[in-house]
Amino acid sequence: MNLLIGSLQLGLLYSIMVMGIYISFRIMNIPDLTTEGSFTFGLAASAMISAAGHPLLAILVSIIAGAGAGMITGILQTKLDIHPVLAGILTMSGIYSVNLLVMHGASNVTLLNSKTIFNMMTGAFPDLPKDAVKLIIPLLAAVIVLLVLTLFFKTSLGLSIRATGDNADMVRASSINVDVVKIIAIGLANACIGLCGGLTAQYQSFADINSGVGILVVGLASVIIGEAFIRSRNMFLCFVSAIVGSIVYRYIIALAMKSPLFPAYMLKLISAVIVTIALALPAARKMSASRRLNAANKADDGGKQDA
């Protein structure tokens, strides 16, 4: 039971980040390493501002922090013409120092004695158990982000973003500034990721400078798992699939961790293997198809020789 609720909490919490990765990975076609930096940026900013007594403001700032990090990557990609993956790596690397600066040089910050939106809600509704609060807030946040993104992708700008990931030349021919569209898209993706970091800091009541390590792979795994359940061209369902993927991912990980086979430090390896298998599926299918054709051809030739 604990495992179920815990996975659901984490799944919903991280689904906000997964929706961001859906934008960068699936819509823009870029595995965006900025994620690892922008998540921690949101986390660090949220922790410091919560510690100063403003947990709600902290959430707002974590969104802005993520968006800012993403837009820097976007500018590196477009205006400075740096390879998209390298642009993400540069931002991620540079932002590590910024995060340490935000956290006043400490590698972790605790919020055990600070106001967070979670203990604010517990204070407002004393009857609610703590676990329920930790479920309701991520759920609310995920639903709000889901609705905002769905609405956003119905606008002309949202449509331009989707088209840019598909055929940038065509968007340019429609008199839309592709550079600006890309910068906004990557900014939006990382705004979600920063928000997720901000909520995570308050959810777990601490912030660690290394919280973002490996988070991109977690996000990619969740996106891919989600697509195994729901595949659609409807943007609402696409983002729902990201949420479902995030929750299922947490269950898989929780189950794997529970079995004595996998000690906790195997977490990242398991995630990496899930992503590798999912990404390798098309190639594997092609290989087996060509092998089958080959075998069929050989059988044909054999038949002719016999005759």
Partner 1 sequence: MLEIVNAQKAFDRGTPNEHLALDDLSLSVADGEFVTILGSNGAGKSTLFNAICGNFLLDRGHIVLGGKDITFLPEHRRAARIGRLFQDPMKGTAPNLSIEENLALAYSRNTRGMLRIAISRKDRELFRQSLADFGMGLEDRMDTKMGLLSGGQRQAVTLLMSTIVTPDLLLLDEHTAALDPATAEKVMQITNGIVYERHITTLMITHNMSSALTTGTRTIMMDSGAVIFDFGAEQRRSMTVSDLLDMYSEKKKEVFDNDRILLSR
Tell me which of 85, 140, 147, 170 binds partner 1, using CB under 8 A: 170
CA distance 119 to 226: 31
Asked whether position 304 contacts partner 1 by CB under 8 A, the answer is no
* Size of residue set near partner 1 by CB under 8 A: 22
CB of 148 to partner 1, least distance (A): 12
Stretch that binds partner 1, among 62-70, 159-167, 192-200, 269-277 (CB under 8 A): 159-167
Of 75, 87, 91, 79, give the one whose Cα is nearest residue 39.
91
Asked whether position 157 contacts partner 1 by CB under 8 A, the answer is yes
- Amino acid identity for residue 35 in this structure: T
All residues at 6 or more sequence positions from 153 whose CB lies less than 8 Å from its CB, including other chains: 159, 161, 162, 235
Of 163, 143, 165, 171, give the one whose Cα is nearest residue 236.
143
Which tokens in the block code for residue 246? Answer: 């995030």
Of 218, 165, 178, give the one whose Cα is nearest residue 10.
218
Q: Scanning residues 228 to 267, which ones bind partner 1 (CB under 8 A)?
A: 233
Angle, helices 34-51 vs 2-21, to 10°: value is: 120
CB of 27 to partner 1, least distance (A): 10
Which tokens in the block code for residue 162? Answer: 């989707």
Tell me which of 82, 106, 148, 163 binds partner 1, using CB under 8 A: 163
CB of 233 to partner 1, least distance (A): 7
Chain centre distance of CA 5: 21
CB of 268 to partner 1, least distance (A): 32
Asked whether position 71 contacts partner 1 by CB under 8 A, the answer is no
Stretch that binds partner 1, among 56-64, 140-148, 169-177, 223-231 (CB under 8 A): 169-177
Asked whether position 178 contacts partner 1 by CB under 8 A, the answer is yes
The sign of the dihedral angle between the CA atoms of 215, 200, 186, 245 is positive
Map residue 207 onto helix, strand or coil: strand
CB of 192 to partner 1, least distance (A): 18
- Distance linking the first and last C-alpha atoms of the chain: 67
CB of 178 to partner 1, least distance (A): 7
Stretch that binds partner 1, among 46-54, 134-142, 164-172, 191-199 (CB under 8 A): 164-172
Stretch that binds partner 1, among 91-99, 165-173, 206-214, 275-283 (CB under 8 A): 165-173
Asked whether position 162 contacts partner 1 by CB under 8 A, the answer is yes
CA distance 254 to 213: 19
Q: Contact positions toward partner 1, by CB under 8 A?
A: 154-160, 162-163, 166-167, 169-178, 233
